[in-house]
Structure 1
Amino acid sequence: MKILQWDHNGFWLYYRRLERGNFHWPSDNNSGPLKISPRQLRWLLDGLSLEQKQAHPVVTARTVI
């Protein structure tokens, strides 16, 4: 997988290859670009499906005193 990102004055090229298996790219992408969250991007880069049924809920940082 290659990701091209513009960063103010130039491009970054990210390249990721799985040691085993394939990326679980969504097959229903007929409506244009796919918008995913940073969390879903991490799942995709780890070789997981974007539709995680048993994912942990999102944790928001809070200050506990």
Structure 2
Amino acid sequence: MDTVTPLNVIVDNLTEMTSLFGDVATGAGLAPLLVLMGTVLIIFSLGVFGILTLGAVGDLFTAN
């Protein structure tokens, strides 16, 4: 039962962090646009490197 308390603290901190970040991200000015562009860049780069990784793994298991 010693691991239950730290896990609850971590979950509580994560939920509080997401609500605070949501307040900042939807604030005035260009903040929502900056969050959206950052999300698009991260998703694009993850997609490109994911496809490259799948291609490299596929190349390992295919015959020349």
Same fold (TM over 0.5): no
Q: TM-score range by the shorter chain?
A: under 0.3
Higher Cα Rg, which structure: 2
Higher relative contact order (CA 8 A, sep 6+): 1
**TM value normalised by structure 2:** 0.22
Flag the structure with higher helix content.
Answer: 2
